[in-house]
Amino acid sequence: MKGQIILRNLQWSGRHNPGFPPGSTQTAVAELLNPTSSILPYSGRLCLDKPAVVCTGTKYFNIDAGATKDVKFPILMPIEEGTYGVYLSIFHNDELLEEYRPDEDVVIGIIKYTLDIAIEPPGAGYVTKSPSKTAYPAGEVVTLTAHPYSGYEFDHWGGWPPYLGVGSTSSTLELPMTDDWWVVAAFREVAPPPVGIALKEGYNLVGYTGKAQSVSAAFASIEPYLAVVYYYNNATGLYEIPKTMVPYAVYWIAVTRNCTWTYGAEATPPTSAQLYTGWNSVCYCGPSQSVEKAVSSITDYILILYYFDNVSKSYVTPRSSDLMLPNRVCVLKVDRNCVWTFVAPEVVTGFSLSLMNILPTLVKWNANFAERSFDYEPMADSGWLAWNETWHYPSDPLGCTTLRVWGLDAQDNILFDVGKKGPIYANRKYAFNCQTLKLWDVTEYPGEIVG
């Protein structure tokens, strides 16, 4: 009886996208139908391309009458990358019955996977990758290290799909690249350490920076050494014995021995202080800056300004060029009621990016935070810039690691296109090297590579 056969389906087990690794062994599974009324012996051979680049050995099998059967054809893939057509030949008694050409070709290529990293909550820290690449060959191991910013600590690794090490609380993760990973580095806020002030035996003039609480609670850490506490009321000009501690108020504290006073977390400092005609004791809550600049809002009203030195137990007259430090207690006399505004120096929270080792054919360039540019305010995209222009981004980049830089020639051909650079921080100057494709932090000479 003349044989017949029908190929109903052919698929590859363990199929990858975009294809198979060179030189790997893969298995094609053919679903074959015997449409006749008799059990028949068959043989088959599967090849890639014509003329054949590689073929399986001949496979012998029987299929019952009217039945289908899955027949497996293991084959060693070519070592050259490329696209190969698939040909399946089926024989009966050494007579060729059919030669099938399935629609789907085989793609041979080095499998590469991507690694995207997210920070939770945003701005809590950053993650470094070693090695740092756009894509990774299958099986390569990437070392991830989580770095918290001040006020946070690392909590755990999360993400999708589940990977080896997900849920780990170690700040370092060894991640084999066996899939496209989306990894989340989760951080948590940490309570600030207790604030401590060194007190000398005898009287101390101190600015209390803790939160509002009872006197007994505030002084619990030095209760055995505490002799007396006074509060100077600027409005009345009188010393009072306090019942409740007021944040950033000034206190005279007498202790019987040298000790360190701790009283918990700091309160949010005020931005100004009300002064009254005559003498005032004030805890300065501005940034470190010259005395002249620190008191610029009340220069016309100051008659006398002192510091109190708790070590020498004496008043010190500062010079205008001296540095005014945060939380320093000032004793000052003014000629009228006024408000002392603690003037802060200008703070630049953004960063700048320019080009170095510029290619001769470069005409314009662009930088952005890649797929995360819309997460930032303002949007993190430079727009097109001339080769000699600098991008000034005005906001905090929050340690971004997705910076993309690319440049075009006069015909809009892409000369370079590099992504996932960083981390990028505020108040820094960066330069992208167009020849080495490295990002440099050039805030300070001679600079250092950051990605």
Tell me, what's the pLDDT at 17?
47
Q: Rounded to an integer, what is the distance from CA 341 to the centroid of its chain?
A: 36
Alpha helices in 118-173 (DSSP H): none
Domain end among 108, 127, 144: 108
Tell me, what's the pLDDT at 252?
94
Tell me, what's the pLDDT at 338?
95
Tell me, what's the pLDDT at 2?
59
pLDDT tens-digit series, residues 155-165: 999 988 888 88
DSSP β-bridge partners for residue 204 = 253
Is there a single domain that holds both residue 279 and residue 316?
yes
Q: How far is residue 262 from each of residues 40, 210, 243, 328, measured CA to CA in Å?
A: 92, 9, 18, 17
Count of residues making up the chain: 451
Question: What mean pLDDT comes out for the span 177-191?
Answer: 88
Is it true that the peptide bond before 269 is cis, omega within 30 degrees of 0?
no
pLDDT tens-digit series, residues 281-295: 999 998 888 888 889
pLDDT(373) > 80: no
pLDDT(34) > 90: yes
- Measured CA to CA, the distance from residue 315 to residue 309 in angstroms comes to 6
In a domain, residue 320? The reply is yes
- Measured CA to CA, the distance from residue 246 to residue 253 in angstroms comes to 14
The lowest-confidence range among 52-61, 201-210, 371-380, 425-434 is 371-380
In a domain, residue 60? The reply is yes
Confidence of residue 193 (pLDDT cuts 50, 70, 90): low
Task: Determine phi and psi for 263, rounding to 5 degrees.
Answer: -145, 25
Is there a single domain that holds both residue 229 and residue 102?
no
pLDDT(145) > 90: yes
pLDDT(383) > 80: yes
Q: What CATH number is given to the structural domain containing 422?
A: 2.60.40
One-letter amino acid for residue 78 of the chain? P
- Count CB neighbours of 311 within 10 A: 8
Tell me, what's the pLDDT at 83?
87
Q: How far is residue 386 from each of residues 55, 361, 362, 366, measured CA to CA in Å?
A: 55, 12, 9, 9
Tell me, what's the pLDDT at 395?
84
In a domain, residue 198? The reply is no
Is there a single domain that holds both residue 81 and residue 144?
no
Confidence of residue 322 (pLDDT cuts 50, 70, 90): confident
Tell me, what's the pLDDT at 93?
87
Question: What mean pLDDT comes out for the span 398-402?
Answer: 85
Is there a single domain that holds both residue 39 and residue 98?
yes
pLDDT(336) > 90: yes
pLDDT(347) > 80: no
Domain end among 189, 218, 235: 189
DSSP β-bridge partners for residue 305 = 332
- Measured CA to CA, the distance from residue 196 to residue 384 in angstroms comes to 52
With a CB cutoff of 8 Å and minimum separation 6, the contacts of 198 are 258, 259, 260, 261
Mean pLDDT taken over the chain: 87
Q: Please report the sign of the dihedral spanned by the C-alpha atoms of residue 149, residue 151, residue 153, residue 155.
A: negative
Question: What mean pLDDT comes out for the span 132-153?
Answer: 88
Domain end among 78, 108, 138: 108
Contact 286, 343 (CB under 8 A): yes
Is there a single domain that holds both residue 325 and residue 212?
yes
Tell me, what's the pLDDT at 109?
74
Q: Which helix (H) or strand (E) segment is 216 a member of?
A: helix 215-218
- Measured CA to CA, the distance from residue 339 to residue 337 in angstroms comes to 7
Q: Parallel, antiparallel, or unpaired: how do β-strands 68-76 and 6-12 relate?
A: unpaired
Based on the structure, what is the number of domains in the chain? 4
Which long-range contacts link 217-225 to residues 24+ away (Cβ below 8 Å)? 218/245, 218/263, 219/261, 219/263, 221/260, 221/261, 221/262, 221/263, 222/255, 222/259, 222/260, 222/261, 225/255, 225/256, 225/257, 225/259
Is there a single domain that holds both residue 329 and residue 219?
yes
Question: What mean pLDDT comes out for the span 307-320?
Answer: 85
In a domain, residue 196? The reply is no
In a domain, residue 428? The reply is yes
- Measured CA to CA, the distance from residue 249 to residue 231 in angstroms comes to 8
Q: What CATH number is given to the structural domain containing 74?
A: 2.60.40.10
One-letter amino acid for residue 215 of the chain? V
Secondary structure (DSSP) of 284-307: --S-SEEHHHHTGGGTTTEEEEEE
Task: Determine phi and psi for 375, rounding to 5 degrees.
Answer: -80, -10
Rounded to 5°, angle at Cα 391 from 386 and 395: 160
In a domain, residue 50? The reply is yes
Between these two residues, 420 and 451, which has the higher pLDDT value?
Answer: 420
Q: What Rg value do the Cα atoms of the chain yield, rounded?
A: 37
In a domain, residue 85? The reply is yes
Is there a single domain that holds both residue 142 and residue 73?
no
Contact 202, 236 (CB under 8 A): no
Is there a single domain that holds both residue 261 and residue 336?
yes
The lowest-confidence range among 8-17, 220-229, 251-260 is 8-17
pLDDT(150) > 90: no
pLDDT(337) > 50: yes
Residue 15 in tokens:
């199929």
pLDDT tens-digit series, residues 235-275: 999 999 999 999 999 999 999 999 999 987 788 899 999 99
pLDDT(16) > 60: no
Is there a single domain that holds both residue 371 and residue 294?
no
Q: Which domain holds residue 52?
A: 6-108
Tell me, what's the pLDDT at 77?
87
Q: Which residue is it, tokens 């953004």?
A: 350
pLDDT(14) > 70: no
- Measured CA to CA, the distance from residue 305 to residue 291 in angstroms comes to 10
In a domain, residue 197? The reply is no
Tell me, what's the pLDDT at 345?
47
Residue 139 in tokens:
């099986």
Is there a single domain that holds both residue 265 and residue 365?
no
Is it true that the peptide bond before 192 is cis, omega within 30 degrees of 0?
no
Between these two residues, 384 and 322, which has the higher pLDDT value?
Answer: 384
The reply to whether the predicted model has a pTM over 0.95 is no
Is there a single domain that holds both residue 404 and residue 367?
yes
- Measured CA to CA, the distance from residue 41 to residue 136 in angstroms comes to 46
pLDDT tens-digit series, residues 299-313: 999 999 998 888 888
